[in-house]
Amino acid sequence: MTTVVEEAKEGSSPAGAQEAGSNAQKRACATSLAPDQAPSLSVVTDGIRRAARTASLAATFGAGMLNKPGSLVHAQPATFAQARDRHHECAGHFGSPLMKALRLLWGYFHLLAVKPALNLAEWITESPARCFITAAVGAVIWFFL
């Protein structure tokens, strides 16, 4: 077996040296482009202008959606009475008494199980301090009780 040093002494260059030399040559060529091969300044500035215009439109659209008075961000959750009335209204759309009863059953399940859990989750995540305290109490209950 011959080593890289022995091959260099014998006059044959190792494959690794050829690859390193060709990579160095490619890097040198890549950094010294001719003026006619370099990208034009107008292409670069047009791209920057297009990106800035897109970002501006996105910011305007997002701010417009957040400031809309009837948006979900500004909406208050329905009270239990409002949710009950809505469930009865939706159940009234069914002609079949069985379907009406099933819709009311879902409505009362929603009022008694789903809505309180969602309201509690909303209340907990309303402030970072409350969220952290709830997580700490939950960890104590989970690991120590």
Measured distance between the N- and C-terminal CA atoms of the chain, rounded to whole angstroms? 68
Rounded CA separation 103/81 (Å) = 17
Mean pLDDT of 20-49: 60
1-10, 31-40, 111-120 — most confident range: 111-120
Rounded CA separation 130/65 (Å) = 28
Q: Are 90 and 103 in contact (CB under 8 A)?
A: yes
User: What are the extents of the domains in the chain?
Assistant: 42-75, 76-145
- The residue among 68, 48, 66 whose CA lies nearest residue 56 is 48
Residue 26 identity (one-letter amino acid): K
Rounded CA separation 137/145 (Å) = 11
Model confidence over 110-145: pLDDT tens digits? 999 999 998 899 889 988 999 999 999 999 999 998
Is this model's pTM higher than 0.85 or not? no
